[in-house]
Amino acid sequence: MDCVRQFDIIITQDPTVKVGLPDCMLFRSSFRKDFAQAAGATFVALFSIIVTTVLVRTLGLAAAGKTESSEVFTLILLGALQYLPPAIVITVFISVMGVVSRAFKEQEMTAWFASGVSLSAMVRPVLRFSLPLTLLALICSVWLSPWARSEMNAASDRFANRSDVSKVSAGQFRESAGGNRVFFVERYSQATQQVKNVFVVEDKPEERIVLSAASGSVEKGSDGQKFLVLNNGRRANLDETGQRFTSTEFQTYGLAIKTNLGTTPSLLMQNRRVDTLLADPSSEAKGELIWRFSLPLSGLFLGLLAIPLAFVNPRGGQSLNQIFGLLIYLTYSNVVSITQSMVTKQTLDFWAALIVPHALVFGLFLVLLARRNRPAGTPWFSQLRKRILMGSARSAKGGLTDE
């Protein structure tokens, strides 16, 4: 039943003053406000959890010497931006589920039903609430999140391809890009390229070399090759069998510094721009597009599905529908992932993978909505058939009137 233009009488402090408002306007504005408040609180909580998780992980990488300490804040921001699309989708689902459930528990929906408003009237405010967030999630999923991932990978590549000495931090062990050399420097000056109290362990196929020196500096040869020149130190060699050991002292010792500059950017599908994916006919590119477009769309259909799932019997206390909603959300996400994998393996058509999961959820929404709207004792399929027939009759009447 559509909203009827009855008038709800609001009694103010002065009983002689009465203000009339249309039911539809009051119903929609009330729920839109509740949705916005619930979405704000939910998103802040989810984003705080995301930032905290990314912060702990990034600080762990920085402490282990796997990323640049000066880029920690940037990496935290980029890492949080990657998870914006699923955070927005979950925000829509939880907000609609929470607000409608609260309305049922506090018998607010009972009052609206008594005034002639059906549960179907909830569709319009939910759509007005979820459509802008779905558009925002689509922008983040298609453009923002891939850009953030590519920037993070580029920062990791820059750090991995820096020279061995440039990774050194005073008082910490640092591993070279190849993994066969470990540096320890007590003091290091970026301005003068001078190091103090150097300790180096280098593994080679035939021997292990251990170097220690009181000081050193970074110098460049005539061919552009960089060397770490150590002064006043000792070199120890141990062969691969562990039986032969030699030790020599030196005044000056040059150690070549490996650099791998000019690396190509990452070609992972998750990091590519959407225009390059659209121009790529490969199945991997189509699978990535499925994920980028399906994730935001799932927020729109989950918001609709939350309307009938949020039903709570006030006499029966809490409902199990919240648990079913969580299971449906997890199943929905897994189905989208499975369809993406099937498109990548060329076992499912692109358009079928894009339409079928959302069509199934929309069909489930229609069935549950018809079940919740049916009068007591009426089979849900009879109510659904009645609604379909009424819609067809209205369409036919409109066509006859136009003629």
* pLDDT, tens digit (0-9, with 9 covering 90-100), for 181-218: 777 777 766 666 677 788 788 887 778 888 888 887 77
Chain-centroid distance of CA 110 in Å reads: 37
pLDDT at 7: 38
pLDDT at 52: 93
Residue 108 pLDDT more than 90? no
* pLDDT, tens digit (0-9, with 9 covering 90-100), for 121-148: 888 889 999 999 999 999 999 999 999 8
Q: How many CA atoms lie within 13 A of 326 on its CB side?
A: 5
For β-strands 226-239 and 18-22, DSSP reports them as: unpaired
pLDDT at 316: 58
Q: What token pair was written down for 145?
A: 């999140």
* pLDDT, tens digit (0-9, with 9 covering 90-100), for 346-366: 888 899 999 999 999 999 999
Our CA angle for 23, 99, 34, nearest 5°, is 60
* pLDDT, tens digit (0-9, with 9 covering 90-100), for 164-184: 555 555 666 666 655 677 777
More confident residue, 14 or 292: 292
Distance CA 9, CA 115 (A): 11
For β-strands 7-11 and 181-189, DSSP reports them as: unpaired
Distance CA 212, CA 235 (A): 7
Q: How many CA atoms lie within 13 A of 13 on its CB side?
A: 0
Residue 226 pLDDT more than 90? no
Q: What token pair was written down for 52?
A: 């905290």
User: What is the number of other CB atoms lying within 10 angstroms of the CB of residue 22?
Assistant: 14
- Residues 58-94: b if buried by 16+ CB within 10 A, e if exposed: beeebeebebbeebeeebbebbbbbbbbbbbbbbbbb
* pLDDT, tens digit (0-9, with 9 covering 90-100), for 301-324: 999 999 888 887 766 555 566 777
User: What is the number of other CB atoms lying within 10 angstroms of the CB of residue 97?
Assistant: 23
Of 118, 101, 95, 108, the C-alpha closest to 34 is 95
Percent residues over pLDDT 70 in the chain: 71
For the chain, the residue count is: 403
pLDDT at 186: 75
Q: How many CA atoms lie within 13 A of 356 on its CB side?
A: 14
Residue 381 pLDDT more than 90? no
Question: How sure is the predictor about 271, in pLDDT bands with cuts at 50, 70 and 90?
Answer: confident
The identity of residue 93, as a single letter, is: F
Q: What token pair was written down for 198?
A: 């150097």
Containing H/E element for 213?
strand 207-220
Instruction: Classify residue 191 by burial, with Cβ atoms within 10 Å: 0-12, 13-18, 19+.
Output: exposed
pLDDT at 318: 57
Question: How sure is the predictor about 50, in pLDDT bands with cuts at 50, 70 and 90?
Answer: very high
The pTM score is 0.68
Containing H/E element for 203?
strand 194-203
